[in-house]
Amino acid sequence: MLSRMNAPVLMPQSDYEARTDFVTELASRLHAYGTTAQRLEAAVEGVANRLGLDCEIWSNPTGMILSYADPVRGQQNGITRVIRLEPGEQNLSRLAATDQITEDVLAGKLELADGLRAMRALDRPERLRSRLLAMLSFGLSAGAVAGLLGANAAGVATAGLIGLVTGVLAVSAAQRPRLNEALEAIAALVATLLVAAVATFVAPVPVKTIIVASLIVLMPGLMLTNAVSELSARHLVSGTARFAGAMMILLKLTFGTVAGMQIVRLLGWQPQEAVAMAPVLPVELAALAVSAFAFAVLFQAARRDYPLVMASVLLGYGLTRLGGEVLGLASESFAGGAFFAGMGVAAISNAYGRWFNRPGALIRVPGIILLVPGSVGFRSLNFVMERDVFLGLDTTFALVSALVALVAGLLFGNLLVPSRRNI
Protein backbone atom coordinates (compact mmCIF):
# COMPACT_ATOMS: atom_id res chain seq x y z
CA MET A 1 0.00 0.00 0.00
CA LEU A 2 2.62 2.43 -0.63
CA SER A 3 4.22 4.88 -2.89
CA ARG A 4 7.96 4.81 -3.22
CA MET A 5 8.08 1.16 -2.16
CA ASN A 6 11.69 0.71 -3.19
CA ALA A 7 13.41 1.97 -0.08
CA PRO A 8 12.47 0.40 3.25
CA VAL A 9 12.10 2.60 6.28
CA LEU A 10 14.85 1.67 8.75
CA MET A 11 13.61 0.97 12.27
CA PRO A 12 15.53 -0.14 15.39
CA GLN A 13 15.25 -3.83 16.02
CA SER A 14 13.82 -3.13 19.46
CA ASP A 15 10.73 -1.84 17.67
CA TYR A 16 9.99 -5.26 16.20
CA GLU A 17 6.76 -5.86 18.16
CA ALA A 18 5.69 -2.25 17.71
CA ARG A 19 6.03 -2.65 13.95
CA THR A 20 3.99 -5.86 13.93
CA ASP A 21 1.32 -4.22 16.11
CA PHE A 22 1.07 -1.31 13.70
CA VAL A 23 0.79 -3.51 10.60
CA THR A 24 -1.78 -5.75 12.31
CA GLU A 25 -3.89 -2.73 13.24
CA LEU A 26 -3.61 -1.43 9.69
CA ALA A 27 -4.77 -4.76 8.26
CA SER A 28 -7.76 -4.82 10.63
CA ARG A 29 -8.68 -1.25 9.62
CA LEU A 30 -8.51 -1.92 5.90
CA HIS A 31 -10.70 -5.00 6.39
CA ALA A 32 -13.23 -3.08 8.50
CA TYR A 33 -13.50 -0.32 5.91
CA GLY A 34 -14.43 -2.63 3.04
CA THR A 35 -11.11 -3.34 1.26
CA THR A 36 -11.15 -6.50 -0.86
CA ALA A 37 -8.78 -9.37 -0.12
CA GLN A 38 -6.32 -8.86 -2.98
CA ARG A 39 -6.03 -5.12 -2.34
CA LEU A 40 -5.72 -5.59 1.41
CA GLU A 41 -3.00 -8.23 1.17
CA ALA A 42 -0.93 -6.25 -1.34
CA ALA A 43 -1.27 -3.07 0.72
CA VAL A 44 -0.29 -4.72 4.02
CA GLU A 45 2.69 -6.53 2.51
CA GLY A 46 3.88 -3.23 1.02
CA VAL A 47 3.68 -1.44 4.37
CA ALA A 48 5.40 -4.31 6.19
CA ASN A 49 8.23 -4.23 3.66
CA ARG A 50 8.67 -0.49 4.17
CA LEU A 51 8.88 -1.10 7.92
CA GLY A 52 11.56 -3.77 7.54
CA LEU A 53 9.32 -6.79 8.15
CA ASP A 54 8.73 -10.00 6.26
CA CYS A 55 4.98 -10.47 6.32
CA GLU A 56 2.70 -13.10 4.87
CA ILE A 57 -1.02 -12.44 5.10
CA TRP A 58 -4.12 -14.46 4.30
CA SER A 59 -7.50 -12.76 4.54
CA ASN A 60 -11.14 -13.63 4.01
CA PRO A 61 -14.39 -11.74 4.74
CA THR A 62 -14.51 -12.91 8.38
CA GLY A 63 -10.88 -13.04 9.47
CA MET A 64 -7.19 -12.98 8.64
CA ILE A 65 -3.88 -14.60 9.51
CA LEU A 66 -0.66 -12.56 9.57
CA SER A 67 2.76 -14.16 9.93
CA TYR A 68 5.76 -11.90 10.62
CA ALA A 69 9.48 -12.49 10.58
CA ASP A 70 12.34 -10.12 11.28
CA PRO A 71 14.65 -10.26 8.23
CA VAL A 72 17.67 -9.57 10.46
CA ARG A 73 16.99 -11.86 13.40
CA GLY A 74 15.40 -14.62 11.33
CA GLN A 75 12.39 -16.87 11.75
CA GLN A 76 13.08 -17.67 15.40
CA ASN A 77 11.55 -14.32 16.29
CA GLY A 78 8.46 -14.90 14.14
CA ILE A 79 5.04 -13.75 15.27
CA THR A 80 1.71 -15.07 13.99
CA ARG A 81 -1.57 -13.24 14.54
CA VAL A 82 -4.96 -14.88 13.95
CA ILE A 83 -7.83 -12.38 13.96
CA ARG A 84 -11.58 -13.02 13.84
CA LEU A 85 -13.42 -10.10 12.24
CA GLU A 86 -16.92 -9.16 11.19
CA PRO A 87 -17.43 -8.47 7.47
CA GLY A 88 -16.40 -4.91 6.70
CA GLU A 89 -18.47 -2.08 5.25
CA GLN A 90 -17.49 0.96 3.22
CA ASN A 91 -16.30 3.87 5.34
CA LEU A 92 -14.45 6.25 3.06
CA SER A 93 -13.63 8.87 5.69
CA ARG A 94 -11.90 6.41 8.02
CA LEU A 95 -10.19 4.67 5.09
CA ALA A 96 -8.71 8.01 3.98
CA ALA A 97 -7.69 8.82 7.57
CA THR A 98 -6.01 5.42 7.97
CA ASP A 99 -4.16 5.91 4.71
CA GLN A 100 -2.91 9.34 5.82
CA ILE A 101 -1.75 8.01 9.20
CA THR A 102 0.19 5.25 7.45
CA GLU A 103 1.78 7.74 5.09
CA ASP A 104 2.83 9.94 8.02
CA VAL A 105 4.39 6.98 9.84
CA LEU A 106 6.32 5.89 6.77
CA ALA A 107 7.50 9.45 6.15
CA GLY A 108 8.76 9.73 9.72
CA LYS A 109 6.22 12.39 10.71
CA LEU A 110 4.63 10.08 13.29
CA GLU A 111 6.15 7.52 15.64
CA LEU A 112 4.74 4.01 15.46
CA ALA A 113 3.05 4.34 18.84
CA ASP A 114 1.49 7.66 17.88
CA GLY A 115 0.26 6.21 14.59
CA LEU A 116 -1.25 3.24 16.41
CA ARG A 117 -3.07 5.55 18.85
CA ALA A 118 -4.29 7.72 15.97
CA MET A 119 -5.81 4.70 14.21
CA ARG A 120 -7.53 3.49 17.37
CA ALA A 121 -8.89 6.98 17.97
CA LEU A 122 -10.92 6.61 14.76
CA ASP A 123 -13.30 4.28 16.63
CA ARG A 124 -15.41 7.09 18.00
CA PRO A 125 -19.13 6.33 18.41
CA GLU A 126 -21.47 7.70 15.80
CA ARG A 127 -23.34 10.83 16.80
CA LEU A 128 -27.13 11.06 16.70
CA ARG A 129 -26.86 13.54 13.82
CA SER A 130 -24.93 11.00 11.72
CA ARG A 131 -27.50 8.28 12.36
CA LEU A 132 -30.39 10.58 11.44
CA LEU A 133 -28.60 11.63 8.25
CA ALA A 134 -28.03 7.97 7.36
CA MET A 135 -31.75 7.24 7.79
CA LEU A 136 -32.61 10.20 5.57
CA SER A 137 -30.12 9.01 2.94
CA PHE A 138 -31.88 5.66 2.70
CA GLY A 139 -35.03 7.52 1.73
CA LEU A 140 -33.27 9.89 -0.67
CA SER A 141 -31.46 7.07 -2.47
CA ALA A 142 -34.66 5.03 -2.77
CA GLY A 143 -36.63 7.93 -4.21
CA ALA A 144 -33.81 8.87 -6.58
CA VAL A 145 -33.40 5.31 -7.89
CA ALA A 146 -37.17 5.08 -8.39
CA GLY A 147 -36.94 8.23 -10.49
CA LEU A 148 -34.07 6.78 -12.53
CA LEU A 149 -36.12 3.62 -13.11
CA GLY A 150 -39.01 5.66 -14.50
CA ALA A 151 -41.52 5.53 -11.65
CA ASN A 152 -44.34 8.07 -11.55
CA ALA A 153 -44.53 10.83 -8.93
CA ALA A 154 -46.56 8.66 -6.54
CA GLY A 155 -44.03 5.88 -6.98
CA VAL A 156 -41.07 8.15 -6.25
CA ALA A 157 -42.75 9.45 -3.09
CA THR A 158 -43.64 5.91 -2.01
CA ALA A 159 -40.10 4.66 -2.60
CA GLY A 160 -38.69 7.56 -0.62
CA LEU A 161 -41.03 6.88 2.32
CA ILE A 162 -40.30 3.16 2.34
CA GLY A 163 -36.59 3.84 1.99
CA LEU A 164 -36.81 6.02 5.10
CA VAL A 165 -38.53 3.17 6.98
CA THR A 166 -35.79 0.82 5.77
CA GLY A 167 -33.18 3.27 7.03
CA VAL A 168 -34.78 3.33 10.48
CA LEU A 169 -34.72 -0.47 10.54
CA ALA A 170 -31.09 -0.61 9.37
CA VAL A 171 -29.82 1.93 11.90
CA SER A 172 -31.76 0.22 14.70
CA ALA A 173 -30.46 -3.22 13.66
CA ALA A 174 -26.84 -2.03 13.91
CA GLN A 175 -27.22 -2.08 17.72
CA ARG A 176 -29.33 -5.26 17.89
CA PRO A 177 -27.61 -8.44 16.64
CA ARG A 178 -30.80 -10.55 16.43
CA LEU A 179 -32.63 -7.92 14.42
CA ASN A 180 -29.57 -7.45 12.22
CA GLU A 181 -29.58 -11.12 11.23
CA ALA A 182 -33.11 -10.84 9.86
CA LEU A 183 -32.87 -7.23 8.64
CA GLU A 184 -33.10 -7.92 4.92
CA ALA A 185 -36.10 -10.25 5.22
CA ILE A 186 -37.97 -7.87 7.54
CA ALA A 187 -37.19 -4.83 5.38
CA ALA A 188 -38.35 -6.62 2.22
CA LEU A 189 -41.56 -7.79 3.94
CA VAL A 190 -42.37 -4.28 5.20
CA ALA A 191 -41.52 -2.70 1.83
CA THR A 192 -43.77 -5.12 -0.06
CA LEU A 193 -46.72 -4.54 2.28
CA LEU A 194 -46.36 -0.76 2.15
CA VAL A 195 -46.07 -0.69 -1.65
CA ALA A 196 -49.11 -2.94 -2.00
CA ALA A 197 -51.09 -0.76 0.42
CA VAL A 198 -50.29 2.39 -1.55
CA ALA A 199 -51.12 0.71 -4.89
CA THR A 200 -54.41 -0.61 -3.49
CA PHE A 201 -55.76 2.35 -1.51
CA VAL A 202 -53.92 5.49 -2.68
CA ALA A 203 -52.64 5.53 -6.27
CA PRO A 204 -51.33 3.15 -8.94
CA VAL A 205 -47.54 2.67 -8.79
CA PRO A 206 -45.06 0.31 -10.52
CA VAL A 207 -44.96 -2.17 -7.63
CA LYS A 208 -41.86 -4.21 -8.49
CA THR A 209 -39.89 -1.11 -9.47
CA ILE A 210 -40.70 0.55 -6.14
CA ILE A 211 -39.74 -2.57 -4.17
CA VAL A 212 -36.35 -2.68 -5.91
CA ALA A 213 -35.77 1.05 -5.39
CA SER A 214 -36.78 1.03 -1.72
CA LEU A 215 -34.40 -1.85 -0.95
CA ILE A 216 -31.54 -0.68 -3.18
CA VAL A 217 -29.15 0.11 -0.31
CA LEU A 218 -29.54 -3.38 1.15
CA MET A 219 -28.92 -5.17 -2.14
CA PRO A 220 -25.45 -6.74 -2.29
CA GLY A 221 -24.45 -5.49 -5.72
CA LEU A 222 -21.09 -4.17 -4.53
CA MET A 223 -20.48 -7.37 -2.58
CA LEU A 224 -21.15 -9.47 -5.69
CA THR A 225 -18.78 -7.31 -7.72
CA ASN A 226 -16.05 -7.59 -5.07
CA ALA A 227 -16.58 -11.36 -4.93
CA VAL A 228 -16.08 -11.76 -8.67
CA SER A 229 -13.08 -9.41 -8.51
CA GLU A 230 -11.50 -11.58 -5.81
CA LEU A 231 -12.19 -14.75 -7.77
CA SER A 232 -10.63 -13.22 -10.87
CA ALA A 233 -7.52 -12.44 -8.78
CA ARG A 234 -7.44 -16.13 -7.69
CA HIS A 235 -8.42 -15.38 -4.11
CA LEU A 236 -10.74 -18.35 -4.28
CA VAL A 237 -11.62 -18.75 -0.60
CA SER A 238 -12.36 -15.08 -0.02
CA GLY A 239 -14.24 -14.68 -3.30
CA THR A 240 -16.34 -17.79 -2.72
CA ALA A 241 -17.18 -16.77 0.85
CA ARG A 242 -18.12 -13.23 -0.20
CA PHE A 243 -20.24 -14.57 -3.07
CA ALA A 244 -22.04 -16.93 -0.70
CA GLY A 245 -22.71 -14.04 1.69
CA ALA A 246 -24.15 -11.95 -1.12
CA MET A 247 -26.41 -14.78 -2.25
CA MET A 248 -27.70 -15.24 1.29
CA ILE A 249 -28.64 -11.56 1.45
CA LEU A 250 -30.45 -11.89 -1.87
CA LEU A 251 -32.30 -14.96 -0.57
CA LYS A 252 -33.44 -13.10 2.56
CA LEU A 253 -34.63 -10.16 0.47
CA THR A 254 -36.46 -12.51 -1.89
CA PHE A 255 -38.10 -14.42 0.97
CA GLY A 256 -39.35 -11.20 2.52
CA THR A 257 -40.81 -10.05 -0.78
CA VAL A 258 -42.51 -13.36 -1.54
CA ALA A 259 -43.89 -13.59 2.00
CA GLY A 260 -45.21 -10.03 1.69
CA MET A 261 -47.00 -10.87 -1.56
CA GLN A 262 -48.61 -13.90 0.08
CA ILE A 263 -49.91 -11.72 2.91
CA VAL A 264 -51.29 -9.26 0.34
CA ARG A 265 -53.20 -12.09 -1.35
CA LEU A 266 -54.55 -13.33 2.00
CA LEU A 267 -55.78 -9.81 2.81
CA GLY A 268 -57.54 -9.64 -0.54
CA TRP A 269 -55.79 -6.48 -1.67
CA GLN A 270 -55.75 -5.67 -5.38
CA PRO A 271 -52.71 -3.43 -6.08
CA GLN A 272 -53.14 -1.20 -9.13
CA GLU A 273 -50.03 -1.29 -11.29
CA ALA A 274 -48.62 1.73 -13.13
CA VAL A 275 -46.19 1.37 -16.00
CA ALA A 276 -42.65 2.64 -15.45
CA MET A 277 -41.52 4.99 -18.22
CA ALA A 278 -38.09 6.27 -19.20
CA PRO A 279 -37.45 9.44 -17.16
CA VAL A 280 -37.25 12.81 -18.91
CA LEU A 281 -33.86 14.52 -18.79
CA PRO A 282 -34.59 17.03 -15.97
CA VAL A 283 -35.97 14.27 -13.74
CA GLU A 284 -33.02 12.02 -14.54
CA LEU A 285 -30.49 14.76 -13.69
CA ALA A 286 -32.28 15.64 -10.45
CA ALA A 287 -32.44 11.97 -9.43
CA LEU A 288 -28.73 11.55 -10.17
CA ALA A 289 -27.82 14.54 -8.02
CA VAL A 290 -29.94 13.34 -5.09
CA SER A 291 -28.63 9.77 -5.34
CA ALA A 292 -25.03 11.04 -5.49
CA PHE A 293 -25.50 12.98 -2.25
CA ALA A 294 -27.21 10.02 -0.58
CA PHE A 295 -24.40 7.64 -1.49
CA ALA A 296 -21.79 10.11 -0.23
CA VAL A 297 -23.53 9.92 3.16
CA LEU A 298 -24.05 6.16 3.07
CA PHE A 299 -20.40 5.51 2.19
CA GLN A 300 -19.51 7.68 5.20
CA ALA A 301 -17.27 10.01 3.26
CA ALA A 302 -15.72 13.01 4.98
CA ARG A 303 -17.67 16.20 4.32
CA ARG A 304 -14.77 17.72 2.40
CA ASP A 305 -14.93 14.70 0.05
CA TYR A 306 -18.68 14.98 -0.65
CA PRO A 307 -18.14 16.85 -3.96
CA LEU A 308 -15.57 14.26 -5.07
CA VAL A 309 -17.80 11.30 -4.19
CA MET A 310 -20.84 12.88 -5.82
CA ALA A 311 -18.87 13.65 -8.96
CA SER A 312 -17.70 10.02 -9.03
CA VAL A 313 -21.29 8.73 -8.97
CA LEU A 314 -22.15 11.01 -11.89
CA LEU A 315 -18.95 9.97 -13.69
CA GLY A 316 -19.77 6.26 -13.52
CA TYR A 317 -23.34 6.79 -14.70
CA GLY A 318 -22.23 9.09 -17.51
CA LEU A 319 -19.55 6.68 -18.74
CA THR A 320 -22.11 3.87 -18.78
CA ARG A 321 -24.44 5.88 -20.97
CA LEU A 322 -21.56 6.99 -23.18
CA GLY A 323 -20.23 3.47 -23.69
CA GLY A 324 -23.57 1.74 -24.11
CA GLU A 325 -25.61 4.23 -26.12
CA VAL A 326 -23.21 6.65 -27.79
CA LEU A 327 -20.33 4.32 -28.63
CA GLY A 328 -22.64 1.34 -29.22
CA LEU A 329 -20.66 -1.12 -27.08
CA ALA A 330 -23.71 -2.74 -25.48
CA SER A 331 -25.41 -5.81 -26.95
CA GLU A 332 -27.74 -8.57 -25.78
CA SER A 333 -24.77 -10.70 -24.77
CA PHE A 334 -22.34 -8.08 -23.43
CA ALA A 335 -22.87 -5.17 -21.05
CA GLY A 336 -20.55 -2.85 -22.94
CA GLY A 337 -21.61 0.22 -21.01
CA ALA A 338 -20.62 -1.38 -17.69
CA PHE A 339 -17.27 -2.48 -19.14
CA PHE A 340 -16.48 1.00 -20.47
CA ALA A 341 -17.54 2.68 -17.23
CA GLY A 342 -15.58 0.23 -15.07
CA MET A 343 -12.44 0.77 -17.12
CA GLY A 344 -12.83 4.56 -17.05
CA VAL A 345 -13.60 4.75 -13.32
CA ALA A 346 -10.68 2.45 -12.42
CA ALA A 347 -8.20 4.41 -14.55
CA ILE A 348 -9.37 7.79 -13.24
CA SER A 349 -9.41 6.62 -9.61
CA ASN A 350 -5.87 5.26 -9.91
CA ALA A 351 -4.70 8.50 -11.54
CA TYR A 352 -6.32 10.49 -8.72
CA GLY A 353 -4.55 8.33 -6.11
CA ARG A 354 -1.19 8.90 -7.79
CA TRP A 355 -1.59 12.65 -8.29
CA PHE A 356 -3.09 13.53 -4.93
CA ASN A 357 -1.54 10.77 -2.78
CA ARG A 358 -4.95 9.62 -1.49
CA PRO A 359 -6.98 6.39 -1.74
CA GLY A 360 -8.37 5.71 -5.19
CA ALA A 361 -11.40 4.14 -3.45
CA LEU A 362 -12.78 7.66 -2.98
CA ILE A 363 -13.58 7.63 -6.71
CA ARG A 364 -13.69 3.90 -7.54
CA VAL A 365 -16.33 2.76 -5.04
CA PRO A 366 -18.95 5.49 -5.60
CA GLY A 367 -18.16 5.48 -9.31
CA ILE A 368 -19.42 1.92 -9.79
CA ILE A 369 -22.27 1.91 -7.26
CA LEU A 370 -24.99 2.58 -9.86
CA LEU A 371 -23.46 -0.08 -12.12
CA VAL A 372 -23.40 -3.05 -9.73
CA PRO A 373 -26.11 -5.58 -10.60
CA GLY A 374 -27.59 -6.28 -7.17
CA SER A 375 -31.14 -5.51 -8.32
CA VAL A 376 -30.73 -7.90 -11.28
CA GLY A 377 -29.86 -10.74 -8.93
CA PHE A 378 -32.84 -9.86 -6.74
CA ARG A 379 -35.23 -9.96 -9.71
CA SER A 380 -33.74 -13.24 -10.88
CA LEU A 381 -34.41 -14.95 -7.55
CA ASN A 382 -37.90 -13.46 -7.42
CA PHE A 383 -38.73 -14.96 -10.80
CA VAL A 384 -37.44 -18.34 -9.66
CA MET A 385 -39.46 -18.17 -6.42
CA GLU A 386 -42.54 -17.35 -8.51
CA ARG A 387 -41.72 -20.46 -10.61
CA ASP A 388 -41.02 -18.45 -13.74
CA VAL A 389 -37.84 -20.42 -14.31
CA PHE A 390 -37.16 -19.32 -17.88
CA LEU A 391 -37.39 -15.62 -17.05
CA GLY A 392 -35.30 -16.27 -13.94
CA LEU A 393 -32.57 -17.94 -16.00
CA ASP A 394 -32.64 -15.11 -18.54
CA THR A 395 -32.21 -12.57 -15.76
CA THR A 396 -29.40 -14.67 -14.26
CA PHE A 397 -27.52 -14.56 -17.56
CA ALA A 398 -27.96 -10.77 -17.56
CA LEU A 399 -26.52 -10.69 -14.02
CA VAL A 400 -23.50 -12.75 -15.02
CA SER A 401 -22.92 -10.62 -18.11
CA ALA A 402 -23.05 -7.39 -16.10
CA LEU A 403 -20.73 -8.74 -13.40
CA VAL A 404 -18.16 -10.05 -15.86
CA ALA A 405 -18.23 -6.85 -17.92
CA LEU A 406 -17.85 -4.58 -14.88
CA VAL A 407 -15.02 -6.58 -13.30
CA ALA A 408 -13.24 -6.88 -16.66
CA GLY A 409 -13.51 -3.12 -17.05
CA LEU A 410 -11.97 -2.59 -13.61
CA LEU A 411 -9.11 -4.96 -14.46
CA PHE A 412 -8.40 -3.21 -17.76
CA GLY A 413 -8.52 0.15 -16.01
CA ASN A 414 -5.89 -1.04 -13.53
CA LEU A 415 -3.71 -2.06 -16.48
CA LEU A 416 -4.07 1.36 -18.10
CA VAL A 417 -3.16 3.24 -14.93
CA PRO A 418 -1.61 1.14 -12.12
CA SER A 419 -2.92 1.85 -8.64
CA ARG A 420 -0.80 3.79 -6.15
CA ARG A 421 -1.48 1.74 -3.05
CA ASN A 422 -4.04 -0.89 -3.90
CA ILE A 423 -6.77 0.87 -1.90
Low-confidence ranges of the chain (pLDDT < 50): 1-13
| Adjacent-strand bridge partners of 391 | none
In this prediction, residue 388 carries a pLDDT of 64
Query: pLDDT tens digits, residue range 411-423?
Result: 999 999 988 777 8
In whole angstroms, give the CA distance from residue 375 to residue 212: 6
pLDDT of residue 397: 80
Looking at residue 12, its pLDDT comes to 46
Q: % helix / strand / coil in the chain, to the nearest 5?
A: 70, 5, 25
> How high is the pLDDT of residue 280?
87
What pLDDT was estimated at residue 1? 43
The whole-number pLDDT of residue 241 equals: 93
- Gap between the Cα atoms of 43 and 62, Å rounded: 18
Residue 386 has what DSSP assignment? T
The residue type of 232 is S
pLDDT reported for residue 222: 92
Distance CA 291, CA 137 (A): 8
| Residues 375/106, Cβ–Cβ less than 8 Å | no
For the chain, the maximum distance between any two Cα atoms, rounded to a whole number of angstroms, is 76
For the CA atoms of 322, 323, 326, 329, what is the dihedral angle to 10 degrees? -170
**Could you tell me which of 35, 47, 39 has the C-alpha nearest to residue 5?**
47
Spatial distance between the Cα atoms of 415 and 251, rounded to a whole number of angstroms: 35
β-pairing verdict for 63-70 and 74-84: antiparallel
pLDDT computed for residue 323 by the predictor: 85
Domain ranges in the chain are 13-120, 126-298, 299-423
pLDDT score recorded for residue 187: 95
Taking Cα atoms as reference points, which of 44, 53, 65 lies closest to residue 2?
44
